[in-house]
Amino acid sequence: MKPCGLLLLTLPLLLFSLFTQAAAALEPAKLKITPSTVELGTFYGGARMHIAGMAGAGCKVIVVVRGPSATEVFNKLGRVGPLWVNTGKVTISAAPSLLLIFSSEPVNTFLISAAIDRYQLNLGSLKKHIQIETKAPDRDRVADDFLAFKAHQGTYRIIPHSVQIGAPDQGGLPYNLDFEMPRAATPGKYQVSVLECPNGEVTDKSDVDLEVVEVGFPALISRLAKERASLYGIISILIAMVAGFGIDFIVFHIFKRKAAAH
């Protein structure tokens, strides 16, 4: 084929591709989270997050922020005579490190229970999915206590009426959500999902990743503690001793000067 012919064949294809990309850019995003990365720096005390997007007309919207699954070990308290003491260990896995569920209305008012269970949209449905390893006979009580513990910690939260739905626009419904990323968020890859629920069912689900990363001094400490444990141990002791003797030196000289002045 001649070079001129090749150019004539590829030019329309190139133009078509550019056009479709531009059209996609103009179309409102289904889900956008700002910031896309949460940085855990020295003074991290939670982070303001904003989620916005466009849902289908007539939909109710649920936003789920889910942390990576983690395995956690607990002591199980039991009664020995009149005393409450640790009677064994409980290992809980397949539970997210963080679970935040936001919705425009209470989930059970517009979604059928099968869908709530499938997408784990309340603590009852999450309870069915978590794995509990224990010798204790009351597994149900262990699961309830685990969920209560996480709720008390602020890492499992269900907040209805938090997603704001705007007026219909371009055949869709714009939605907005402002929330605070918890202080107890740990580093990892989180998943943010938006569920569109028009008639008691989930018809569409959009996902986006949210990175939570340590930066600066906390990142340095974490790395040293995990990778250079002996060095980290020695540094910790030296810093503690220098702080102790240093303060003693300063206080002694302040008092000495005061005594000399009198």
CA dihedral 38, 40, 43, 47 (to 10 degrees): 30
Strand order in the sheet with 164-165: 32-34, 47-56, 172-181, 164-165
Residue 120 Cβ vs another protein, minimum distance, rounded to whole Å: 21
Q: Which amino acid is it at 240?
A: A
Q: Is 139 in the site for another protein (CB under 8 A)?
A: no
Stretch that binds another protein, among 9-17, 53-61, 197-205, 225-233 (CB under 8 A): 225-233
Q: Which of 10, 21, 71, 75 binds another protein (CB under 8 A)?
A: 75
Stretch that binds another protein, among 11-19, 100-108, 123-131, 248-256 (CB under 8 A): 248-256
- Nearest to another protein of 41, 106 (CB atom): 41
Annotate each residue in 176-215 with x if it binds another protein (CB under 8 A) or - if it does not, as one string. Answer: -------xx-x---------------------------x-
Which residues, numbered 87-116, are part of the site for another protein (CB under 8 A)?
87-90
Q: Is 137 in the site for another protein (CB under 8 A)?
A: no
CA dihedral 133, 138, 142, 143 (to 10 degrees): 90
Do 60 and 194 contact (CB within 8 A), yes or no?
no
Q: Is 141 in the site for another protein (CB under 8 A)?
A: yes
Residue 88 Cβ vs another protein, minimum distance, rounded to whole Å: 8
Q: Which amino acid is it at 17?
A: S
End-to-end CA distance of the chain, in Å?
103
- Tokens 């056009």 appear where? 19
Q: What's the Cα-to-Cα distance from 188 to each of 35, 38, 66, 136, 181, rounded to whole Å? A: 15, 10, 11, 32, 13
In 3D space, the residue among 229, 213, 209, 210 whose CA is nearest the CA of residue 221 turns out to be 229
Residue 191 Cβ vs another protein, minimum distance, rounded to whole Å: 19
- Nearest to another protein of 143, 197 (CB atom): 143
Q: Which of 37, 86, 93, 199 binds another protein (CB under 8 A)?
A: 86
CA dihedral 80, 85, 88, 89 (to 10 degrees): 160
Residue 142 Cβ vs another protein, minimum distance, rounded to whole Å: 6
Binding site for another protein (CB under 8 A): 40-46, 72-78, 80, 82-90, 138, 141-142, 145-146, 148-149, 153, 183-184, 186, 214, 217-219, 221-222, 225-226, 229-230, 232-237, 239-241, 243-249, 251-252
